[in-house]
Amino acid sequence: METFELLNKKHDELRQGEAYAPFALDANQYKKYFYIESYGCSMNFSDSEIVAAILQGEGYGATQNFQDADLVLLNTCSVREKAEQTVRKRLTEFRKVKESKPGMLIGVLGCMAERLKSKFLEEEKLVDLVVGPDAYRSLPTIVAEAETGQKAINVLLSREETYADISPVRLNSNGVTAFVSIMRGCNNMCSFCVVPFTRGRERSRDINSILKECKELYEQGFKEVTLLGQNVDSYYWINEQTNEPVTFAMLLEQVALISPELRVRFSTSHPKDITDDVLYTIAQYENICNYIHLPVQSGSTRILQLMNRTYTREWYMAKVDRIKEIIPDCAISADVISGFCTETEEDHQDTLSIMEYSQYDFSYMFFYSDRPGTLASKRFVDDIPEEVKKRRLAEVVEMQNKLSAKSNAKDVGKTFKILIEGNSKKSDTDWMGRNSQNKVIVFPKENYNLKKGDYVQVKVNSCTQATLLGEVV
Ligand code: SAM
Ligand code: SF4
Ligand code: F3S
């Protein structure tokens, strides 16, 4: 089993598109080395762990330093134009290093590989190999082709591939929290979104392989799993023994039953699909975290229709009410897009007011980026000037800052069960952990004999906008 230096990155940081690269501790152990950097959503970070497992099976070790690598991989994101620009810039840097190291291969994986396909090899000449999200099993063959100077590409999408039998190599793991992919692809057609084109049709992973992976993680000392999918609530699997369908609520329960010591999170729920069954299951099990990421995108019914989100403003608000009714202390977060095609000031005000109504604990906020090939790009004009998009986004961010500050202030004086994830960013005399609601809490280590992965009761004494500060009780 390969050992990787623990970098202690938090999932939320990763969600923001920050790149990361794994280390190999023993620099002389392998004949060849790969370097992988990931961008985009948690699915991509999880996929990089599958890629690492496939490459490890071929005798590759991981290196943190791309100059030392024989194979440099970028697992890319296409969700917004800026994400693609970042990747292009990075590829140019890699290309420069390759000039003095001709044997080095540079590969593009993930959503941008799928969107641009052979364009990368032909027009841009920035890379040696291109592999889409459903074709990672073919990486060894593609690398071999690239080594002989052939056109090395596989961007075939699959209706079946879930990589169910591959045990991911945990990269940059803190040893406490891990992602577990439960499905791939997306069958929704939100008009702004490139994901259905880059990730293909939705398919669910065999429940037995999910449970096996979660159990193994728990046995290895992990204390939290996040079940991943673009739309987890449409998870669907037929149990071979009983011929009965397994829903997401059932899967959630089965994972929760592995051990009360193993916390369970999930992401992402589409508001149209999250069921009462899921909410009751969360309420029933203490180890299923009281936190739901429920992307709203817009607060205007007219814009939601253009976005093809299939719910109205009122329907979404009723869903928020239902969550709070069944799980009273549930934290809710959202994704918000400002400046979608034809958005008026009134639509924008509707977004601000739905945020206030929902009292989001945090949000991920973006301005609209036209993506070629999407329904919105084909049907509508990207007609909101950039300065208006940015001004509206700033107002959305300001609203969220106000809501987060209010939500944190409400927690002062309360005591929470915290899972310790590691040292705080600022000081190694403080621990950092999260409560069930996914809020970060920092507290002094003092002389308690605590370690990473322990649960501890912490009383919140004060807060900043982003963090709660407390002490062990
Ligand atoms: N599957 C999830 C869902 O349904 O909400 C999220 C998928 S997407 C990878 C993450 C977020 O990126 C979306 O919720 C949306 O807010 C944002 N996003 C997607 N396409 C975008 C675009 N064209 N411009 C700006 N933001 C976009
Ligand atoms: Fe994109 Fe919509 Fe699918 Fe989420 S549900 S990945 S936003 S198409
Ligand atoms: Fe980006 Fe692909 Fe995820 S487009 S957000 S990496 S599914």
% pLDDT > 70, the chain: 94
On the question of pLDDT at 92 being above 80, the answer is yes
Cα–Cα separations (whole angstroms), residue 10 to 26, 129, 208, 232, 420: 24, 30, 27, 21, 12
User: How much is the pLDDT for 441?
Assistant: 98
pLDDT band at 43 (very low <50, low <70, confident <90, very high): very high
Q: Which atom of ligand 1 is nearest to the CA of 43?
A: 9
Mean residue pLDDT of the chain comes to 92
CATH of domain 9-154: 3.40.50.12160
On the question of pLDDT at 31 being above 50, the answer is yes
Q: Which atom of ligand 3 is nearest to the CA of 194?
A: 4
Q: Which amino acid is at 53?
A: A
User: How much is the pLDDT for 121?
Assistant: 85
User: How much is the pLDDT for 239?
Assistant: 87
On the question of pLDDT at 53 being above 90, the answer is yes
On the question of pLDDT at 104 being above 90, the answer is yes
Q: What is the pLDDT of residues 403-423, one digit of tens each?
A: 999 999 999 999 999 999 999
User: How much is the pLDDT for 9?
Assistant: 33
Q: What is the pLDDT of residues 179-226, one digit of tens each?
A: 999 999 999 999 999 999 999 999 999 999 999 999 999 999 999 999
Higher-confidence residue: 464 or 223? Answer: 223
**Cα 195 to ligand 2 centroid, rounded to whole Å:** 6
Residue 219: strand, helix, or coil: helix
Which residue puts its alpha carbon closest to atom 7 of ligand 3?
Answer: 195
Q: Which atom of ligand 1 is nearest to the CA of 192?
A: 23
Residues forming CATH 3.40.50.12160 domain(s) in the chain: 9-154
On the question of pLDDT at 173 being above 50, the answer is yes
Residues forming CATH 2.40.50.140 domain(s) in the chain: 415-472
Q: Greatest CA separation found in the chain?
A: 64
pLDDT band at 241 (very low <50, low <70, confident <90, very high): confident
Q: Which amino acid is at 227?
A: L
On the question of pLDDT at 303 being above 90, the answer is yes
User: How much is the pLDDT for 46?
Assistant: 95
Mean pLDDT throughout 9-17?
A: 35
Q: What is the pLDDT of residues 245-295, one digit of tens each?
A: 999 999 999 999 999 999 999 999 999 999 999 999 999 999 999 999 999
Q: 269: Cβ below 6 Å to ligand 2?
A: no
Cα–Cα separations (whole angstroms), residue 157 to 113, 203, 463: 12, 12, 46
Q: Are 130 and 87 in contact (CB under 8 A)?
A: no
Higher-confidence residue: 28 or 61? Answer: 61
CATH of domain 177-408: 3.80.30.20
- Write out the CATH class of domain 415-472: mainly beta
pLDDT band at 465 (very low <50, low <70, confident <90, very high): confident
User: How much is the pLDDT for 123?
Assistant: 74
pLDDT band at 7 (very low <50, low <70, confident <90, very high): very low
The two beta strands, 263-267 and 224-228, are parallel
Q: Which residues contact 335 (CB under 8 A, 6 or more apart)?
A: 293, 295, 296, 297, 363, 364, 365, 366
Which residue puts its alpha carbon closest to atom 5 of ligand 2?
Answer: 188
Residues forming CATH 3.80.30.20 domain(s) in the chain: 177-408
Q: What is the pLDDT of residues 126-170, one digit of tens each?
A: 899 999 999 999 999 999 999 998 889 999 999 999 999 999 999
Q: Which ligand is nearest to the CA of 374?
A: 1
CA of residue 337 relative to chain centroid, distance: 17
**Cα 120 to ligand 2 centroid, rounded to whole Å:** 25
